[in-house]
Amino acid sequence: DSCDLMVAILDGPQVDDGTAWEIGHFFQQRKRVLGIRTDIRNAGELKASRINLMIEFSCLSISSSIRELYSELEGLLA
């Protein structure tokens, strides 16, 4: 609760239940969540979905690499 920003690791065939709960908890508090998904498998309701829509729209961005995540973090913290 004392954090203002969270980085959520979203790899796997579906988002971990605990991670999904934490994302929802942060989103409810209007706090910022950045996701990272390096897994190439789709994990959403549609064939084109990379991830569950509820998780996707709760994150400010979902990066595909550490470099991309670093760039997102740098932009938020600058």
Beta bridge pairs of residue 33 = 6
The tens-digit pLDDT sequence of the chain (78 residues) is: 899 999 999 998 889 999 999 999 999 999 999 999 998 877 666 677 778 889 999 999 999 999 999 999 999 998
Return the domain boundaries, the chain.
5-77
Concatenating the DSSP letter of every residue in 10-40 gives --SSS--HHHHHHHHHHHHTT-EEEEE----
**Domain 5-77, CATH number (from 3.90.950.10, 3.30.70.1560, 3.40.50.450, 2.60.40.2480):** 3.40.50.450
Tell me, what's the pLDDT at 29?
A: 96
Which helix H or strand E contains 68, and what residues bound it? helix 66-77
pTM, whole model, 2 decimals? 0.87
Tell me, what's the pLDDT at 44?
A: 64
Q: In angstroms, how far is CA 35 from the centroid of its own chain?
A: 2
